[in-house]
Amino acid sequence: MTTVYLIRHGQTLANREGILQGHLDAPLSEYGKRQAELVGKALSTANIDAIYSSDLDRARKTAEAIAKYHDLEPILDPRLREIHCGSLQGKTMEESKRLYPEFFESLKEDPLNTPRPGGGESYIDLHQRSVDAFEDILKKHPESNVVIVTHGGVVRCLLAYAQGMLPDPSSPTPDNASISVISFKDGKLQVEKINDISHLAELYEEMSPSSQKDTYRWLN
């Protein structure tokens, strides 16, 4: 059996402020660095064979916090990046809705195939490249334990794929530094865990996860 641990990167200041990052290379906040340390400790006793990460800094630094317990170097794959938000990158969802009302009207009609304005991706674009990366990783690491550190949209796509579904852009975004688990056995994918944040309990005594804006919930 292959077990894949899907990790969303730790928090950035843009996450706190509800800013759409997409492919912008935002660093972890101090709080996000603490989240990364805790997810690293949570996986420190697992027998991890490989660690893959988006090449964006917020994911890479989270992956490094996990890798140090396993004497591994994260393998960077740009296919694991967040959805490219085009002209929306660097803006809040509220600003984006005000500036690009036509896009959001189109999104209501066809949420999966509507590309973000200004050269951005559609959700199907994100889904296809995420699944391509995931399938390649499964082929390279049979009977292994693999960590994938990525972004909320990618986690959402891969969890949907493992359940035989297309992603739902209106579904909640996984929490920063959360752990979701997918197993692969006898040619079948199985979701074992979704959005586990129990390892972050000590941080949430200071700040509830619900205090963060769900920036990537595209349809309300």
Catalytic residues: 9, 82
List the one residue out of 16, 185, 153 whose CA is nearest residue 85. Answer: 153
Q: What is the DSSP string of 148-207?
A: EEE-HHHHHHHHHHHTT----TTSPPPPTT-EEEEEEETTEEEEEEEEE-GGGHHHHTTS
List the one residue out of 118, 131, 137 whose CA is nearest residue 76. Answer: 137
